């Protein structure tokens, strides 16, 4: 049994009200977690605010040294973190292992960039004037993260904000508080100064809301569903503070008639069903040229029906549970809506507790919920199109614009489609859910705004300060 605590001003703090955390694997209680109140969030924000001056004035090489130490600690605790990600979040071993390794890359990337991300000198219109732009940390950064990749998404936001001299107040998802607690443990182990990083576990309605509205918080970075993102943007905008929002997606995978269908099936299976389809950039709508539609569907369904569902700690398992039985309930509602509208499920549709079997629907149109909304689980529609123009039209017929992919052997067609798709990211002959530690990750439309990763994370958490030095006496008009 893990006792999760808040971490405020360098100390682990008990909270009076607690609740159990159940594993989605079997419903067993794996931890007791705090139910923090608004006052707890305020204490964490105050600590971060008080620590800001000293941390931001620390030489960048010193901040980088703390991050390199954190990187080494993560490496030394890999197996512990992998096990937590499986037991708490339901991810299979390969997903958990990949998330830990990617987290290491993110922290190392932040440390490497810390000394090399700066401003620039400009040519002045006036004689004898030196004109410069400095990068300055925004201040206290509020970090609010989701449950599907609780370690890597959190650390991407935290590490880069720390590298640029900001201090942190962090609220992990209520579904994955143990992972958030382990982040606090590792940062404490790395010896970061008191108040630089703070963890508060609790509801979004209290802890999250205080982070968004508190005047001492300068910037909020949030990854999660679009409805919550809209609310955060509205409140933060009213307080005149900046936000970074990485929200939902209904990401299209387009398969053209000249595609290698064996490759296309592999891309579609991985892109649609990895981590049970609970990824914002999962391939959620599979759009296939009508000339190869029937062959593709047959191959795709055959492979999907073979995916092994079970306890993710079994390394032969390819599909673990959803994050909770409540999420499986939502998949049942999506399933019933599709059936009621005339859709045919060629495989899947089975549900047991938090488990929902990978499901493929055909005979769907754009009015189905599985075509209109973000399906954060293992249900996927496959729709035929007559040509490239219709493929783009269907791909863009969504409020979202996060990621997309095109499978083809004709690079000219691929580029034309990539240019026409409305999304923040497009991948050719690969899955929709690619990510690297140093690239600009983010979307457009209802998928949010801002970019995170590498120098783009640094840009989000800093502001530009223009500074001039006048080296000769200037003549003024009055």
Asked whether residue 288 is domain-assigned, the answer is yes
In this structure, are 231 and 264 located in the same domain? no
**183/303 same-domain check:** no
CATH number at residue 218: 3.40.605.10
pLDDT tens profile 75-103: 999 999 999 999 999 999 999 999 999 99
CA distances from 232 to 46, 175, 359 (A): 21, 19, 33
53 and 190 part of one domain: yes
CATH number (domain holding residue 400): 3.40.309.10
Catalytic residues: 246, 280
Distances (CA, A) of 48 to 19, 116, 160, 211, 292: 26, 25, 16, 12, 57
For the chain, how many structural domains are there in total? 2
Q: What is the pLDDT of residues 249-291, one digit of tens each?
A: 999 999 999 999 999 999 999 999 999 999 999 999 999 999 9
Average pLDDT over residues 402-426: 97
Specify whether 141 is located in the same domain as 275.
Answer: no
In the prediction, which pLDDT does 298 show?
Answer: 98
Claim to verify: residue 10 and residue 153 sit in the same structural domain: yes
Residue 475 pLDDT level (bands cut at 50, 70, 90)? confident
Residues 452, 424 contacting (CB under 8 angstroms): no
Inside any domain, residue 477: no
Across the strands, what pairs with 77? none
Best CA proximity match to 458, nearest among 443, 435, 437, 444: 437
Alpha carbons within 13 A on the beta-carbon side of 79? 0
| Residue 344, domain extent | 251-428
Please give the model's pTM, rounded to 2 decimal places.
Answer: 0.95
473 within some domain: no
Tell me, yes or no, whether 80 and 199 share the same domain. yes
Q: Taking the CB of residue 31, how many other CB atoms lie within 10 A of it?
A: 20
Q: What's phi and psi for 51, nearest 5 deg?
A: -85, -10
Q: Is residue 478 part of a domain?
A: no
pLDDT digits (tens, 9 = 90+) for 147-198: 999 999 999 999 999 999 999 999 999 999 999 999 999 999 999 999 999 9
Are 30 and 144 within one domain? yes
Which parts of 355-445 are beta strand (E)? 355-356, 359-362, 379-385, 400-401, 403-407, 425-428, 444-445
Strand partners, 199: 7, 170
Q: Determine, yes or no, domain membership for 283.
A: yes
How far is the C-alpha of 111 from the C-alpha of 66, rounded, in Å? 8
Can you read off the two tokens belonging to residue 351?
A: 């549900």
């Amino acid at each position: 049994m893990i006792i999760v605590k808040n971490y405020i001003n360098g100390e682990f703090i008990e909270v009076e009200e607690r609740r159990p955390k159940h594993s989605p694997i079997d419903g067993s209680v794996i931890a007791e977690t705090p139910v923090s109140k608004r006052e707890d969030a305020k204490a964490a924000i105050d600590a971060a605010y008080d620590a800001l001056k000293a941390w931001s004035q620390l030489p960048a090489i010193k901040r980088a040294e703390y991050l390199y130490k954190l990187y080494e600690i993560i490496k030394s605790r890999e197996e512990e973190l992998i096990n937590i990600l499986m037991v708490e979040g339901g991810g299979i071993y390969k997903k958990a292992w990949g998330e830990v390794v990617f987290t290491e890359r993110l922290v190392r990337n932040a440390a490497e960039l810390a000394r090399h991300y700066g401003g620039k000198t400009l040519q002045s219109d006036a004689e004898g004037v030196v004109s410069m732009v400095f990068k300055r940390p925004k201040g206290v950064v509020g970090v609010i993260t989701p449950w599907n990749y609780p370690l890597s998404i959190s650390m991407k936001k935290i590490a880069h904000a720390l590298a640029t001299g900001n201090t942190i107040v962090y609220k992990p998802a209520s579904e994955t508080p143990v992972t958030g607690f382990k982040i606090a443990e590792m940062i404490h182990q790395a010896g970061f100064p008191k108040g630089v990083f703070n963890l508060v576990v609790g509801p979004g309605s209290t802890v999250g809301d205080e982070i968004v509205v508190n005047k001492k918080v300068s910037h909020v970075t949030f990854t999660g569903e679009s409805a919550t993102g809209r609310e955060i943007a509205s409140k933060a905008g009213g307080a005149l503070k900046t936000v970074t929002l990485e929200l939902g997606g209904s990401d299209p995978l387009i398969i053209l008639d000249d595609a290698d269908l064996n490759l296309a099936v592999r891309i579609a299976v991985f892109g649609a069903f990895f981590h049970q389809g609970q990824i914002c950039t999962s391939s959620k709508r599979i759009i296939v040229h009508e000339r190869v539609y029937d062959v593709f569907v047959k191959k795709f369904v055959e492979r999907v029906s073979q995916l092994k569902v079970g306890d993710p700690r079994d390394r032969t398992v390819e599909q673990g549970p959803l994050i909770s039985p409540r999420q499986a309930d939502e998949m049942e509602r999506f399933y019933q809506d599709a059936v009621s509208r005339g859709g045919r499920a060629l495989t899947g549709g089975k549900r047991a507790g938090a488990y929902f079997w990978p499901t493929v629907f055909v005979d769907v149109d754009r009015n189905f919920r599985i075509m209109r909304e973000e399906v954060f689980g293992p249900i996927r529609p496959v729709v035929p199109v007559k040509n490239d123009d219709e493929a783009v039209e269907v791909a863009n017929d969504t409020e979202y614009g996060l990621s997309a992919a095109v499978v083809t052997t004709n690079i000219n067609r691929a580029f034309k489609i990539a240019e026409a798709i409305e999304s923040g990211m497009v991948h050719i002959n690969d899955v929709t859910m690619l990510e690297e530690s140093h690239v600009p990750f983010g979307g457009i439309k209802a998928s949010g705004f801002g970019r995170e990763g590498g120098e783009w994370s640094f840009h989000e958490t800093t502001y530009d300060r223009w500074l001039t030095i006048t080296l000769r006496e200037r003549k003024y008009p009055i």
